Structure 1
Amino acid sequence: MRLATYNVEWFDALFDDEGGLLADDARSGRRGVTRFEQATALGIVFTALDADAVLVVEAPAAHRGRDGVRALESFAAIYGLRTRRALMGFANDTRQEIALLYDPDAVTARHDPRGGLSDEDGEPPRFDQPFRIDLDIDDRVDRVAFSKPPLEVALASAGGARSLRLIGVHLKSKAPHGARDRDAVMRAAIANRRKQLAQAIWLRRRVDADLARGSDVIVLGDLNDGPGLDVYEDLFGRSSVEIVMGGDGENGLFDPHAREALERRLGAQPSTARFYLDTERRFLAALLDYVMVSPGLMACRPAWRIWHPFDDPVCWETPELRGALLTASDHFPVTLDLDIAARS
């Protein structure tokens, strides 16, 4: 089984309200890229991935009269992808949904949210409900909500031989909009990061609850955070990546790229995204995208791969794919191969 996560920058801009693909010469949401160029590049990348299921971060919108599922399935049909069915969970109003594109011949998938309308029963609430936590240790309960509720999926291999819990995420600390001076920017940035860490705690509690039920869990997506990435990390002690992973205990999640970054703060590190900094006239590489697995899946001989156009030898040596990866998005896909038959 091959699973993937892929953040597609402004995928929504490639579709009209009816979900039709706009593969023309108009500008896409990508800097210096037309909609035709981005759509064509995405077709190449999705085809090359050849995954059984792909978590699409920044998927087309599913609100205000727009149909994100139809858009994704239309895209898959046009480019002949085997991941031709789309699944979404709780819609949001950011034009950046979290969706799953999957091959119905290889897996079955359904939205399967857990938790209630509150956390009064001891389990964290459903991801479209508020979460109560004391954010700033002032003995007052704060209410935290996801702007992009995580997508919980019950996934099973063909014939139901193996079942997994997928939690697709896009954690993102908001920019300090409206702040007018340095102190205001700092206060807003700290408050936003504190909220993101609270969301990571919420997500980790859901993982713990799933593991307590005996489920195999995979958390995948864009955590927009990582060791050493944020100037405020020392203030809080841990990144949201570390919180979601949960340490080295028996319930800890594993991702080799996250582990490498945690263990080696200096020197070359893996990266899954590449952003252009206008003010510095250079590119910034960052590790933002992860596929974390629970301990029970380590028996399936998991193999991770970042489809980086410069770091992955096959991507580098395949000009069409290398160019498509650079054109399609500012993030690169991450895949996980699981040998389901090897599971004892």
Structure 2
Amino acid sequence: MRLVTYNIEWFAHLFDDADNLMLDDQSSGRYGVDRYTQGRAIAHVLQRLDADAVMVVEAPNTGRKQRCTRALERFAAEAGLRTDTAVSGFATDTHQEIALLYDPAVLDVEADPQASKRAPRFDDSFLIDLDVDDRMDRVRFSKPPLELQVRTKGGMALRLIGAHLKSKAPHGAETAEEVARISIANRRKQLAQAIWLHRRIKEHVEAGENVIVMGDLNDGPGLDEYERLFGKSSVEIVMGAELTDPHAQSLLKPREPVLPSTSRFYNPETKRYFRALLDYIMISHGLEAYGPHWRIWHPFEDAECYDDIPLREALLAASDHFPVSLDLELT
């Protein structure tokens, strides 16, 4: 079985207000890439992945007229994908949903949001003292995680959680001091969301469930200078002792010579690209018995992706993130 997480940059820009796919020469959300090129590239990548399920981060919008699942299923039909059924969770106001495209011949999937005293439902509020002032702060997700109950045709039950954590840029800051203050406050909120998510994960693991957390955590050990103020990254908090991901764990090792990455961004000031490890598939330890194999489909780090020129070009045109796959010996 192959599971994939894939952040597809501004996927929503490929659809009109009625969720009709627009493949033309107009600009997409990708800089320098038209909608035809991006749409064809996404289709090529998803065809090549041939996954049983894809957690789509930055999926098309759900709003007054639009519906994320309808857009994804229309795209899957146009691209001829066997992952032709979509499920999403709580809608966001960001035009970037979290949704799962899956093959119904392989998996039964149901949205199943949870709630407990320690970890409220993800469309609710989470109370935590962010700044250690003996006053509780109210935290909300701008992109509530997607909680799914999944069963394979062979009868294996899985708990999948799709996540997109994000620490907002310091908008409105005019001085270095304001940048630091807002950045620290935003990082506190992101870490609070990570704690909230980890509490849910821990509850499922303690209940004996097989848990898989997939998505873009927008963070990693050593990602920025603000991490030193808090001791841990949100990736470490989410993973805790309950989950494992070899890519995340490689960042915890001292002096690791070559670090993996899942994304590539252009810095207009330096006129150079920089790389980051942001996308993860974390599994509970019980799933380690099923021969897990992780792969980052990075066109400049994976030799097979680089040598396959059509795939390489499609990966670069489709998104600024690259897919991460997990193969498990499950039926």
TM-score class, shorter-chain normalisation, is over 0.9
**1:230-271: CA deviations, max 9, x gaps?**
110111000000001104xxxx21000111111145532000
Question: Which residue of the other structure, out of 179, 184, 187, is the alignment partner of 2:181?
Answer: 187
Aligned to 1:150: 145
CA–CA distance in 2 between the matches of 1:297 and 1:212? 14
Structure 1 gaps of 5+ residues are none
Aligned to 1:263: 253
Query: Aligned pair 1:127/2:127, yes or no?
Result: no
Query: Aligned pair 1:329/2:319, yes or no?
Result: yes
Secondary structure in 1 matching 2:172: coil
Question: Which residue of the other structure, out of 283, 287, 292, is the alignment partner of 1:302?
Answer: 292
CA RMSD, Structure 1 to Structure 2 (Å) = 1.0
CA–CA distance in 1 between the matches of 2:79 and 2:330? 28
Amino acid at match of 1:323: E
| Runs of 4 or more consecutive aligned structure 1 residues displaced over 4 Å after TM superposition | none
Aligned to 2:97: 97
Aligned to 2:216: 222
Amino acid at match of 2:115: G
Aligned to 1:275: 265
CA–CA distance in 2 between the matches of 1:13 and 1:267? 38
Q: What is the 5 A alignment of 1:1-344? A: 1-116=1-116, 119=117, 123-159=118-154, 161-247=155-241, 252-340=242-330
Amino acid at match of 1:75: F
Identical pairs, percent: 60
CA–CA distance in 2 between the matches of 1:269 and 1:294? 23
CA–CA distance in 2 between the matches of 1:76 and 1:299? 32
Deviation for aligned residue 1:16: 0.6
TM-score after normalising by structure 2: 0.98
Q: Is the CA contact (8 Å cut-off) linking 2:250 and 2:256 kept in structure 1?
A: no
CA–CA distance in 1 between the matches of 2:324 and 2:256? 23
**1:178-233: CA deviations, max 9, x gaps?**
11211111110000000000000000000011112111001110000001111101
Deviation for aligned residue 1:63: 1.1
Structure 2 gaps of 5+ residues are none
**1:23-81: CA deviations, max 9, x gaps?**
00000000100000000000000001110000000000101321111110000000100
CA–CA distance in 1 between the matches of 2:121 and 2:134? 24
Aligned residue-pair number: 331
CA–CA distance in 2 between the matches of 1:165 and 1:115? 14
TM-score after normalising by structure 1: 0.95
**1:155-198: CA deviations, max 9, x gaps?**
11125x10100010000001111112111111100000000000
Amino acid at match of 2:153: A
